[in-house]
């Protein structure tokens, strides 16, 4: 077999020791002591307050361009920041600011107009606005290209009528990444448009949905003749599929760094908890989980530093993370036993973890992508 060039990635990041110390010191002085409220306006206030505090300290938008309020730092800096972030037990990255910071902002940076970047990026970094995502519909989840929410171009506006579902944080967000069909008679990936939707526009109704963990993170959204300015289109009208794929790419890949590192910390917490009630079966299981979490971290770093990363690495990471998250929380329930009922955050997170193999593309869909696009197996 021919030798292939190997990537030379320094995973210890020794050269960033000063930056690491700076991050550690700032986090030690600023991480809030109380846990984030589970949902609703209280979770919104908590999340925005935290982003505003990060921004004031120079710790938001580390990888974003300086021209839009970021710091233009390297992926290595991001990795170090998240390592310190989770070590300091800072608020979960999977909070109501997740969409804005991790995929709406990056989509605008990559494909938005100058005016869209100017209007939206700083408010996100300064903790002034939340975003949500309106892609899925009752009949169009895995098969997103079948969506039917209609946008009729009338003068300088798009008039939107239809319904979205599972739109995370729609009840507390100012803006939505909205994917609609704007070319009459078009089918599948053609004729779609990605548009910035102001959630306060007349004709929008938001109905929160409660999940089995008891929280209302997502909602149904109904649009009745909602007039959105054409200047809010990201990319071109009819080119929405390409923009949506960019958004999903950010959601499945770079956005995952923080959540994956949080999972590693949970494994260490479990090990500490199990030390109080040692048993070899538990020890083997925890050793496996720790090794899997390390493997996932290596996969994430490889994706972050590989140039060019394949566009489908995100599916590998998303699938590995989702299934590992369920195993970690399942182990927590077994270790805690009846105690789990008293340790409510573990029980809550265990129930929430069921959604990991659905949100952002189900496990089956990720497997299809890996099979067809990475392994080159025949298409369905």
Ligand X SMILES: Cc1cc2nc3c(=O)[nH]c(=O)nc-3n(C[C@H](O)[C@H](O)[C@H](O)COP(=O)(O)OP(=O)(O)OC[C@H]3O[C@@H](n4cnc5c(N)ncnc54)[C@H](O)[C@@H]3O)c2cc1C
Give CA 349 to chain center in angstroms: 16
Q: How many residues bind ligand X (CB under 6 A)?
A: 20
Of these, 61, 106, 237, 361, which contacts ligand X (CB under 6 A)? Answer: 361
| Catalytic residue selected from 84, 137, 177, 251 | 251
Q: With respect to ligand X, which residue has the nearer C-beta, 147 or 293?
A: 147
Q: With respect to ligand X, which residue has the nearer C-beta, 142 or 225?
A: 142
Shortest gap between Cβ of 190 and ligand X (angstroms)? 20
Q: Is 359 in the site for ligand X (CB under 6 A)?
A: yes
Q: Is the dihedral of CA 250, 133, 68, 16 positive or negative?
A: negative
Q: Using the structure block, give the residue that is written with the tokens 């949100």.
A: 359
Stretch that binds ligand X, among 127-135, 242-250, 309-317, 343-351 (CB under 6 A): 127-135
Q: With respect to ligand X, which residue has the nearer C-beta, 228 or 273?
A: 228
372 in active site:
no
Q: Is 102 in the site for ligand X (CB under 6 A)?
A: no
Shortest gap between Cβ of 345 and ligand X (angstroms)? 17
Residues 213-252 binding ligand X (CB under 6 A) are 218
Q: With respect to ligand X, which residue has the nearer C-beta, 49 or 364?
A: 364
Stretch that binds ligand X, among 72-80, 302-310, 311-319, 351-359 (CB under 6 A): 351-359
- Three-state secondary structure readout of the chain: CCCCCCCCCCCCCHHHHHHHHHHHHHHHHHCCCCCCCCCHHHHHHHHHHHHHHHHHCCCCCCCCCHHHCCCCCCHHHHHHHHHHHHHCCCCCCCCCCHHHHHHHHHHHHHHCCHHHHHHHHHHHHCCCCCEEEECCECCECCCHHHCCCEEEEECCEEEEEEEEEEEECCCCCCEEEEEEECCCCCCCCCCEEEEEEECCCCCEEEEEECCCCCCCCEEEEEEEEEEEEHHHEECCCCEHHHHHHHHHHHHHCCCHHHHHHHHHHHHHHHHHHHCCCCCHHHHHHHHHHHHHHHHHHHHHHHHHHCCCCCCCHHHHHHHHHHHHHHHHHHHHHHHHHHHHHCCHHHHHHHHHHHHHHCCCCCHHHHHHHHHHHHCCCCCC
Stretch that binds ligand X, among 23-31, 271-279, 302-310, 360-368 (CB under 6 A): 360-368
Q: With respect to ligand X, which residue has the nearer C-beta, 25 or 364?
A: 364
Q: Is 362 in the site for ligand X (CB under 6 A)?
A: yes
Residues 154-213 binding ligand X (CB under 6 A) are 166-168
CA-CA-CA-CA torsion for 360, 139, 373, 111, nearest 10 degrees?
-60
Residue nearest to ligand X (CB): 141
Of these, 368, 370, 372, 373, which contacts ligand X (CB under 6 A)? Answer: 368
Stretch that binds ligand X, among 134-142, 202-210, 223-231, 232-240 (CB under 6 A): 134-142
Of these, 57, 69, 141, 238, which contacts ligand X (CB under 6 A)? Answer: 141
Q: With respect to ligand X, which residue has the nearer C-beta, 326 or 362?
A: 362
Q: With respect to ligand X, which residue has the nearer C-beta, 147 or 267?
A: 147
Shortest gap between Cβ of 31 and ligand X (angstroms)? 25
Q: Is 366 in the site for ligand X (CB under 6 A)?
A: no
Tell me how far apart the alpha carbons of residues 126 and 333 are, in angstroms, rounded to a whole number.
Answer: 38
Catalytic residue annotation: 251
Contacting positions for ligand X (CB under 6 A): 132-136, 141-142, 166-168, 218, 355, 358-359, 361-362, 364-365, 368, 380
């Amino acid at each position: 077999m021919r030798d292939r060039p190997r990537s030379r990635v320094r995973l210890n990041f020794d050269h960033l020791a000063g930056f690491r110390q700076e991050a550690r010191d700032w986090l030690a002085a600023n991480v809030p002591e109380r846990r984030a409220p589970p949902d609703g306006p209280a979770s919104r206030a908590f999340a925005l307050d935290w982003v505003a505090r990060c921004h004031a300290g120079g710790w938001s938008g580390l990888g974003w361009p300086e021209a839009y309020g970021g710091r233009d730092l390297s992926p290595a800096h991001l990795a170090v920041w998240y390592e310190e972030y989770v070590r300091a037990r800072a608020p979960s990255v999977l909070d109501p600011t997740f969409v804005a910071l991790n995929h709406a902002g990056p989509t605008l940076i990559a494909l938005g107009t100058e005016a869209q970047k100017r209007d939206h990026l700083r408010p996100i970094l300064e903790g002034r606005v939340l975003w949500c995502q309106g892609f899925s519909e009752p009949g169009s989840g895995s098969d997103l290209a079948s969506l039917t929410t209609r946008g009729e171009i009338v003068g300088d506006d798009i008039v939107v009528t239809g319904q979205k579902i599972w739109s995370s944080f729609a009840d507390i967000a100012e803006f939505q990444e909205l994917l609609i069909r704007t070319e009459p008679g078009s089918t599948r990936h053609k004729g779609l448009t990605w548009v910035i939707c102001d959630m306060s526009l007349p004709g929008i109704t938001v109905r929160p949905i409660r999940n089995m963990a008891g929280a209302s993170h997502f909602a149904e959204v109904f649009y009745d003749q909602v007039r959105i300015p054409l200047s809010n289109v990201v990319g071109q009208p009819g080119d929405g599929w390409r923009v949506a794929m960019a958004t999903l790419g950010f959601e499945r890949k770079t956005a995952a760094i923080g959540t994956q590192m949080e999972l590693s910390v949970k494994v260490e917490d479990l090990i500490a908890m199990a030390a109080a009630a040692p048993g070899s079966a538990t020890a083997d299981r925890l050793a496996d989980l720790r090794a899997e979490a390390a493997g996932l971290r290596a996969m994430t770093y490889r994706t972050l530093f590989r140039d060019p990363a394949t566009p489908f690495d995100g599916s590998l990471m998303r699938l590995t993370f989702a299934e590992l998250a369920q195993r970690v929380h399942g182990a927590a329930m077994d270790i805690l036993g009846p105690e789990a009922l008293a340790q409510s955050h573990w029980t809550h997170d265990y129930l929430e973890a069921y959604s990991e193999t659905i949100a952002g593309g189900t496990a089956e869909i990720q497997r299809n992508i890996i099979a067809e696009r990475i392994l080159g197996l025949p298409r369905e």
